[in-house]
A = this chain, B = another copy of it.
């Protein structure tokens, strides 16, 4: 058995990896590139390239307007597949379209309005002060628009959020509690079922952002009793740059909520073009205008690819990949001033690992120059996104080896300090 910190050990893990052949499903233009940013923009599947050609050349180019007879059902059909394959959600509860920001706005607004109609004293919106920026901004805007308060709760970044960590802020004046299931910085996984139950218990809506979770960890929305969620598809789902997001509304809530952007794709009997807005029954009422069909098609392919691999197998490999980063970090990087900014317990750690270092921005630039692409998050985080479908153990080993050499030699100090990193 080779030393667990050695490259032969990583090679052996690759040799026995049941998902190793999955990498062949993706376009790899540069074999030498080590791409550790699958949590920002996932790689391009071959089948998606083919499908996009077909959508562009045949469905649009030849079919023209006639293709809308198929396209019009795709946002729900692909939503169903996301639900079945990745979210543990039964049919008719997931819709693809718009971006995550717009979808969060729609669901949070619908939830706030329902809660306040029920009880006008529900004037609080609660979120994590470390939540992803767009989530905080959307909620801040909603609170401002409706004269409500936004409570930004300071929570430890590395500890998974649980119901008990929120007890002090939950009361019967909360209309909406909105959290990310997976922290975009640390990858800590919040306790979905427990927090949902705590929100239910006080009559508040929980609105979940699954962007860093979907495709990285198994999510069981129906089983957890979740009612409202949104998420993006351009990370682990490999939907492409700016691919449409999804939203989930549990069936029994759909007809009791009214989202604020009343558009013709959410209307009953859309092409009757009737005089007043009568929202469709079901998940369709959460649609706005014309959905982006190229993006929807790309999402469909990404979902099926993950489904064939199986989310359980992907998760198992993901745990092993992130575990290897942590082991190498402990052995090689701690002496160089790095600290782990992700949970050690794999049960509450999702698909990426964050490493904190005062020179993280510069180290990131040096890695990129050398053909390793991680990402940087202000102020001091090097974030390694280890998409299990496209990342090998030897790539992880090589990247970590590159990083220790760079920082040991001081080579990264050639790069300027990021403005964002010092603010």
Contacts and interface: CB of A to CB of B under 8 A. Distances in A.
Contacts of A260: 105, 141-142, 145
B43 A267 contact: no
* Candidate in A49, A52, A273, A375 with the most chain B CB atoms within 10 angstroms: A273
A416 interface: no
Interface in A168-185: none
Interface string A53-81: 10011111110111110010000000000
A240 B56 contact: yes
A52 B101 CA distance: 25
A16 to B, nearest CB: 28
A286 interface: no
B275 A152 contact: yes
Interface string A90-114: 0000000011111001000000010
Interface string A334-375: 000000000000000000000000000000000010000101
Given A29-B61, A57-B49, A261-B105, A242 B377 contact: no
A292 interface: yes
Nearest to A376: B271
A308 interface: no
A263 interface: yes
Q: How many copies does the complex hold?
A: 2
Interface in A287-335: 288-296, 298
Contacts of A298: 294
A165 interface: no
Given A98-B102, A140-B276, A260-B105, A373 B57 contact: no
A248 interface: no
Given A102-B98, A288-B101, A293 B241 contact: yes
A242 B294 contact: yes
Given A65-B40, A265-B101, A240 B133 contact: no
Given A140-B276, A241-B60, A294 B293 contact: no
Given A61-B44, A378-B272, A102 B261 contact: yes
Contacts of A277: 136-137, 140-141
Given A56-B240, A64-B35, A289 B100 contact: yes
Contacts of A241: 59-60, 67-68, 71, 290, 292-294
A243 B289 CA distance: 11
A267 B62 CA distance: 40
B61 A134 contact: no
A27 B242 CA distance: 26
A41 interface: yes
A108 to B, nearest CB: 11
B288 A62 contact: no
A158 B304 CA distance: 49
Contact of A273 (B40, B64, B133, B243): B133
B37 A64 contact: yes
Contacts of A141: 260-262, 277
A56 B136 CA distance: 31
A267 to B, nearest CB: 6
A232 interface: yes
A386 to B, nearest CB: 14
Given A137-B267, A242-B291, 10 more contacts: A29-B62, A33-B64, A53-B53, A134-B289, A152-B275, A242-B293, A242-B294, A274-B423, A294-B298, A295-B295
6 contacts: A40-B65, A41-B64, A49-B61, A66-B373, A102-B263, A241-B290
Q: Please list the 10 inter-chain residue pairs (A to B) with the smallest Cβ-Cβ separation, ordered nearest first.
A: A101-B289, A141-B262, A101-B263, A99-B289, A29-B62, A134-B264, A241-B293, A242-B292, A137-B277, A44-B61
